[in-house]
């Protein structure tokens, strides 16, 4: 640690204005404050500093995402070996998944951080750390066969139009990772939905084997195209452990719950939002179970709705995003409940979208400030009544 600090101190003058590499000042500054808590203090006014800063919060979220990411890598390999009939052990499957997912993570970080670095240098600001989390979320919410070049375009689009034009990290109205997914979903629907993208069909460096025209539907896809009302996929424990086709990081409920425990234990995410998303989803799915239309999606048991698709992932990692969610404490209940309920409504009532979590969260992102406003105004009028 000491040696690293000394090394940074030694090369620092090169990055100061007038130094050899002053064009990369913001890059250096970003890495330095990522590694060490900065020793500068504010110059004006009275400020209260929390012991934790946003880089530390981001690091915790990334750590919480790692179980789901590692399991997603294994599952990519597992599904590939299962569907192509190739033979391989645990480590071969994991290695296959690693090689399939790693390029997506690299593309997402290179494009996203590249734009952030350029913007930071151009505006002469510090690099903002928001993309640390978005960069790892983006590869986790796309299907494994999503081509890299469209991932790069979508990442660039969402960093520029969902984040930088609003003023950068902390100012965005929408969740950046979800905007990436929404862009992909509407711009390249053939690569984001259907039956041919959820299981990798090519061999990578001799691992696995190439099968043409491989199709595998997600469980929600099966339910949305079912002709009869009781043809929804039966509940199995694979849906909980995550050994089913789906977007890379979203399948395993267990791995996501480990992440949820880390987020809640460290206090980064709000349990109120998380819980109320599940309550809202369960409530709405139960209503459809009892009174809904005669379709497989509506008849699917409520607990199955909660474990399938991106519901858990969205509830734990997307809905709790502190920037785009409601900030008032009672607002969080309303915000979370509506996300869960709307996600199920979209799944059941819109046959075009088997998965409603993305659209539900984006929709509620818009309403989060309104919810906060109403909560604050209600509080004000309640207290004003006391002085009458």
Partner 1 sequence: MSSLFSKKNKEVFSAPLGMNNPVTVQVLGICSALAVTAKLEPAIVMGLSVTVITAFSNVIISLLRKTVPNRIRIIVQLVVVAALVTIVSEILKAFAYDVSVQLSVYIGLIITNCILMGRLEAFAMANGPWESFLDGIGNGLGYAKILIIVAFFRELFGSGAVLGFQIIPSSVYEAGYLNNGLMLMPPMALIIVACIIWYQRSKHKELQDK
Which of 181, 332 has the CB closer to partner 1? 181
Closest C-alpha among 31, 238, 21, 40 to residue 116 = 31
Tracing tokens 């239309």 back to the chain, one arrives at 293
Report the nearest approach of partner 1 to the CB of residue 335 (Å): 24
The answer to whether residue 189 forms part of the interface with partner 1 (CB under 8 A) is: yes
Structure token digits, residue 321: 């995003």
Which of 185, 337 has the CB closer to partner 1? 185
The answer to whether residue 183 forms part of the interface with partner 1 (CB under 8 A) is: yes
Using an 8 Å Cβ cutoff, are 179 and 158 in contact? Answer: yes
Q: How many C-beta neighbours within 10 Å does residue 10 have?
A: 9
Q: Tell me the C-alpha distance between 143 and 107, whole Å.
A: 15
**How far from 79 is each of 8, 197, 198, 346, 376, CA to CA, in Å?**
45, 12, 9, 27, 49
Indicate the burial class of 384 (C-beta count within 10 angstroms; 0-12, 13-18, 19 or more): exposed
Report the nearest approach of partner 1 to the CB of residue 202 (Å): 13
The answer to whether residue 366 forms part of the interface with partner 1 (CB under 8 A) is: no
In this chain, which stretch among 121-129, 166-174, 184-192, 354-362 interacts with partner 1, using CB under 8 A? 184-192
Q: Tell me the C-alpha distance between 197 and 357, whole Å.
A: 19
Q: Tell me the C-alpha distance between 221 and 28, whole Å.
A: 46
Report the nearest approach of partner 1 to the CB of residue 153 (Å): 8
Site string for partner 1, 127-166 (x = CB under 8 A): --------------------x-xx--x-------x---x-
The answer to whether residue 186 forms part of the interface with partner 1 (CB under 8 A) is: yes
Report the nearest approach of partner 1 to the CB of residue 149 (Å): 7
Report the nearest approach of partner 1 to the CB of residue 264 (Å): 36
Report the nearest approach of partner 1 to the CB of residue 359 (Å): 14
The answer to whether residue 181 forms part of the interface with partner 1 (CB under 8 A) is: no
Structure token digits, residue 264: 């809640």
The answer to whether residue 122 forms part of the interface with partner 1 (CB under 8 A) is: no
Chain residues that interact with partner 1, rule: CB under 8 A: 147, 149-150, 153, 161, 165, 183, 186-191
């Amino acid at each position: 640690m000491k040696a690293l600090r000394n090394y940074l101190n030694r090369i620092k003058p090169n990055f100061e204005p007038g130094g050899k590499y002053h064009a990369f000042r913001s890059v250096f500054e970003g890495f330095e404050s990522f590694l060490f808590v900065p020793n500068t203090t504010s110059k004006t006014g009275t400020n209260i500093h929390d012991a934790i800063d946003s880089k530390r919060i981001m690091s915790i979220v990334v750590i919480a995402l790692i179980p789901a990411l590692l399991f997603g890598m294994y599952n990519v390999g597992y599904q590939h070996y299962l569907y192509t009939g190739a033979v391989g052990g645990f480590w071969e499957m994991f290695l296959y998944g690693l090689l399939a997912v790693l390029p997506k993570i690299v593309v997402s970080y290179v494009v996203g951080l590249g734009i952030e670095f350029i913007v930071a240098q151009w505006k002469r600001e510090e690099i903002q750390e928001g993309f640390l989390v978005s960069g790892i979320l983006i590869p986790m919410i796309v299907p494994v066969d999503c081509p890299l070049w469209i991932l790069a375009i979508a990442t660039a689009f969402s960093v520029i139009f969902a984040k930088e034009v609003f003023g950068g990290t902390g100012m965005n109205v929408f969740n950046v990772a979800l905007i990436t997914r929404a862009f992909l979903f509407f711009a390249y629907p053939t690569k984001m939905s259907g039956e041919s993208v959820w299981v990798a069909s090519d061999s990578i460096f001799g691992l696995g084997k190439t099968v043409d025209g491989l199709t595998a539907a997600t469980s929600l896809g099966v339910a949305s195209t079912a002709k009869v009302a009781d043809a929804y996929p039966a509940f199995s424990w694979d849906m909980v452990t995550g050994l089913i086709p789906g977007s890379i990081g979203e399948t395993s409920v267990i791995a996501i719950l480990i992440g949820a425990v880390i987020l809640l234990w460290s206090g980064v995410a709000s349990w109120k939002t998380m819980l109320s998303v599940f309550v809202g989803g369960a409530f709405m799915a139960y209503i459809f179970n009892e009174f809904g239309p005669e379709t497989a999606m509506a008849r699917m048991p409520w607990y199955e709705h909660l474990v399938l698709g991106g519901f858990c992932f969205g509830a734990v990692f997307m809905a709790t995003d502190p920037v785009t969610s409601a900030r008032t404490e009672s607002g969080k209940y309303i915000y979370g409940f509506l996300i869960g309920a709307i996600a199920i409504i979209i799944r059941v009532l819109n046959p075009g979208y088997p998965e409603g979590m993305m659209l539900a969260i984006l929709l509620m992102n818009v309403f989060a400030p309104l919810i906060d406003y109403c909560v604050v105004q209600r509080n004000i009028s309640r207290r004003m009544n006391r002085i009458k």
